[in-house]
A and B are shown apart, each in its own frame.
Chain A
Amino acid sequence: MKLSPELEISIQVALGEAARRGHDLATLEHLLYALIHDAETQAALLHSGANLDQLKKSLDRFLDKEIPKIPGGPPTQVTPTLAFQRAIQLAALQLSSAGKREIRGPHVLVAMFDEPDSHAAHMLEEQGISRLDVVTFISHGLSQVNGQSPSGGGSEQPDEEGEAASPAMLKNPLEAFCTDLNARAARGEIDPLIGRTRELERTVHVLSRRRKNNPLFVGDSGVGKTAIVEGLARRIHEGNVPDPIKGATIYLLDMGTLLAGTKFRGDFEARLKAVLKALEGKPQAILFIDELHTVIGAGATTGGTMDASNLLKPVLGSGKLRCIGSTTFQEYRSHLERDRALARRFQKIEVGEPSIDETRKILKGLLGHYEEFHGVTYTPKAVRAAADLAGRLLRDRKLPDSAIDLIDEAGAMLKLLGPSGRKRVRSKDVEIVAARLAQIPPQTVTHDVRESIRRLEPDLKSVIFGQDEALSRLVAAIKMSRSGLASPEKPIGSFLFTGPTGVGKTEVAKQLARTLGIGFVRFDMSEYMERHTVSRLVGAPPGYVGFDQGGLLTEAITKTPHAVLLLDEIEKAHPDVFNVLLQIMDHGTLTDTNGKRADFRNVLLIMTSNVGAREMARQRLGFGGGLAVGEDDKAYRNLFSPEFRNRLDAKIGFLALSPDVMLKIVDKYTKELAEQLLVKNVTIQMTEAARAHFAEKGHDPRFGARPLVRVFQDELKRPLAEELLFGRLAKGGHVIVDVVNSKVEFRFELSPDPPTSHDLPDQGSGKENSCR
């Protein structure tokens, strides 16, 4: 058993200290005084939360006042007290029973606690240090600190134990709780900022104010709020900023470390105060709080209103501290707007999503970094594809973040091919990645919209019958908007489909979405007949239930901006809903109550209405007969206000179905049915009489072709179902549908026979089933 050299020195120092002060006895207090100058003991004390300065001061006072000096100068001999000796013996005993060989400073510290009525132990306890703290430190923290400087030992290991009130952290709070963005820029860790000149200008403008010089970036996640601040730091570093903020330093507040390990009430506040104080001492400092909403409520106790934001308020308003914040619209709404006092101290700067063109430029600017990292090169086409596809497919995320992701993923994908793989990222690679991220089949990514528009008219006409004129007008309008001749501010088109029910208005909208390969969003306006239902579309006003959720309409369009938006039965909607629609038709945007803007520029707005249909159906009295021309127009004028009618691209009237058309529709349904039956090895054929029967029964002047479905159901499908399951079609076969005396009859045949003009594919027909 031996003393460590450091401990030996400390004991010598303790004896010397006693002599210097004119004491003939060296007490534990002398020893403690010497030990707090020992590196290892210092670490143990700091780790246990001691304030060394304070401890030293109280020891000083105690030694001067409480220990009797011997008269007549320094003593010739200094004797350690019994307790002094006991402490060292106890430490030795403890260690030898544990099988250790060397006694070090902290071990003696532990032994001091066992001394009754000891002032040394008392002073340690006053610092909040218990025997357990020191023992814990020795057991788990000692080897790590060995040989390190005491301050390093305190702050470099973020152990929850000792961080609590570590004076080292509080001494240099900027280093402990903030990141110096200028330094990061100097190390080249910050990507350059491309574009965003307007936002930067405004930021510098706000920062140059005398008071309330605090810009606050509000924008959706991924649009690059943090990038703006980092870009600013980079420019400051490069000296590429106006004079007022030349030489400024931006500190990024790290809320994580600020909170981590704050064990006791007041710890957090002390840290934040320390940061603020340190910043106030630096007139050129700018504090950047990312996710500003996190300071609201941070550090608040249950039931208390005092939180970090309230500590910030006074410094923010006075202009002594320049602070940049950033947050999203949603958080701004739900947190900052509630704390108006905090919000008013910031100047809100909205950061919008960049356009696809801007995104392309941003990508170009960053490309070098990604090429270097992945060891690949990107073709210009790949970059363009990334911007386009991110804008089109990854709509739940924002540009440029989503586009950068595509570039990054594509690079990573090629890198994984190994050293032998390609080194050039082509647009095809980006497409694959985009399809994977958007979880859609890769071929839909390359879906050629232009080709589908060219074929739009024939495609639509092949599924919608008897509305050739309406379809032509619709397609013409879509072509015009796609050609770029239409106003870029407005939706692709705003159409009102009128006409009697059951003529295919809704069907056109559905087919349109399918043919164009874009989304389909349908709202049944009969659900929006009351005044308050407007809030369902655009979000509830503040103070009402559902305020923090967005509106149904805005949400739907934000999610699928490329879509056919069908508002069914628009005439049933409350007039207030129309006012909302005016906005969409005119400017192509709609702002919900959260301030989030939905972009309707890529939306094809279709409203259907059967206004005027009743008038059309009404037979005129007297001579002339026929339908009342112009009556429907009157009804239309009565219902829709002039400003609404003005904004429509076209009102497309759908005609009532003629018997001719009905035959085609019957054929269409028959074809559908045949396809279903084919799976069961059954072919179907319809005689002319049957076609005519269904066309006639399925049509109604008031309901259009709608009854057809029901007639098919009742007279065709139901009897067939029976046969399919248990009867003569159970093993497949051929069925001929005929009508005799307005009654549907079935003839089952062994093999298909195509006698009439209207035949259907005949595969796998049944063999043995025969009747009649």
Chain B
Amino acid sequence: MVPDDSKPRFHEEGGLATAHRPKVKQPRLYRVLLHNDDYTTMEFVVQVLMSFFHKDETEATQIMLAVHRQGVGLCGRFTREIAETKVAQVIDHARKNGFPLMCSMEAE
């Protein structure tokens, strides 16, 4: 939102108002990340990646291993609202299955 610039500005000597079409900032994309913990099973992580992020098995395994080794794994880049929804869905699903799996998002 660019609240002030969107108003037409008037030349001082009168005449026509010129519109400054505001250069609207491109909305940012968000990275959705999975965080490592010692209780969530590898299988569960793979399953989450496949069902919520529609990864095939190979890809899902690679991401799961990245989580395991580096502490975090990148699940994908989304618009804010999708990222937000996915994070909520993943955490919700993990809790229901008794895992403390942590999913988060960060702006690029």
Q: Which A residues are within 8 Å of any B CB, using their own CB? A: 25, 27-28, 66-68, 70-71, 79, 81-84, 113, 115-119, 121-122, 125-126, 128, 130-132, 262-265, 301-302
B80 touches A83 (CB 8 A): yes
B2 touches A68 (CB 8 A): no
Question: Which residues from A are CB-within-8-Å of B54?
Answer: 68, 70-71
Question: Which residues from B are CB-within-8-Å of A132?
Answer: 6
Nearest A residue to B2 via CB reads A125
Question: Which residues from A are CB-within-8-Å of B89?
Answer: 79
Name A's interface SS.
loop
Question: What string of 1s and 0s marks CB contacts (under 8 Å) between B78-99 and chain A?
Answer: 1111101100110000000000
Q: How far is the CB of A293 from chain B (nearest CB, A)?
A: 20
B21 touches A128 (CB 8 A): yes
Q: How far is the CB of A82 from chain B (nearest CB, A)?
A: 5
- Interchain Cβ contacts under 8 Å between A and B, 5 examples: A116-B80, A125-B2, A130-B6, A264-B18, A302-B13
Question: Which residues from B are CB-within-8-Å of A25?
Answer: 82, 85
Question: Which residues from A are CB-within-8-Å of B21?
Answer: 128
Assuming the A-B contacts A113-B1, A119-B27, A128-B21, are A301 and B81 also in contact, with contact meaning beta carbons closer than 8 angstroms in the complex? no
B16 touches A265 (CB 8 A): yes
- The docked-state distance in angstroms from the alpha carbon of A28 to that of B25 is 18
A118 touches B6 (CB 8 A): no
B8 touches A122 (CB 8 A): no
A302 touches B82 (CB 8 A): no
A302 touches B19 (CB 8 A): no
Question: Which residues from B are CB-within-8-Å of A81?
Answer: 81-82, 84-85
Question: Which residues from A are CB-within-8-Å of B16?
Answer: 262, 264-265, 301
Q: Is B71 an interface residue (CB 8 A)?
A: no
Question: What string of 1s and 0s marks CB contacts (under 8 Å) between B18-29 and chain A?
Answer: 110110111110
Question: Which residues from A are CB-within-8-Å of B18?
Answer: 264-265
A82 touches B88 (CB 8 A): yes
Name B's interface SS.
loop
Q: How far is the CB of A23 from chain B (nearest CB, A)?
A: 9
Q: Is B42 an interface residue (CB 8 A)?
A: no
Nearest A residue to B22 via CB reads A125
Question: Which residues from A are CB-within-8-Å of B25?
Answer: 122
Question: Which residues from A are CB-within-8-Å of B84?
Answer: 81-83
A117 touches B14 (CB 8 A): no
- The docked-state distance in angstroms from the alpha carbon of A82 to that of B83 is 10
Nearest A residue to B18 via CB reads A265
B39-84: which residues lie under 8 A (CB-CB) from chain A? 54, 76, 78-82, 84
B6 touches A119 (CB 8 A): no
Question: Which residues from B are CB-within-8-Å of A115?
Answer: 80-81
- The docked-state distance in angstroms from the alpha carbon of A134 to that of B14 is 28
Q: How far is the CB of B104 from chain A (nearest CB, A)?
A: 15
Which among A79, A117, A128 has the highest number of chain B CB atoms within 10 Å?
A: A117
Q: How far is the CB of B40 from chain A (nearest CB, A)?
A: 23
Nearest A residue to B21 via CB reads A128
- The docked-state distance in angstroms from the alpha carbon of A28 to that of B84 is 13
Nearest A residue to B76 via CB reads A68
Q: How far is the CB of B105 from chain A (nearest CB, A)?
A: 11
A126 touches B24 (CB 8 A): yes
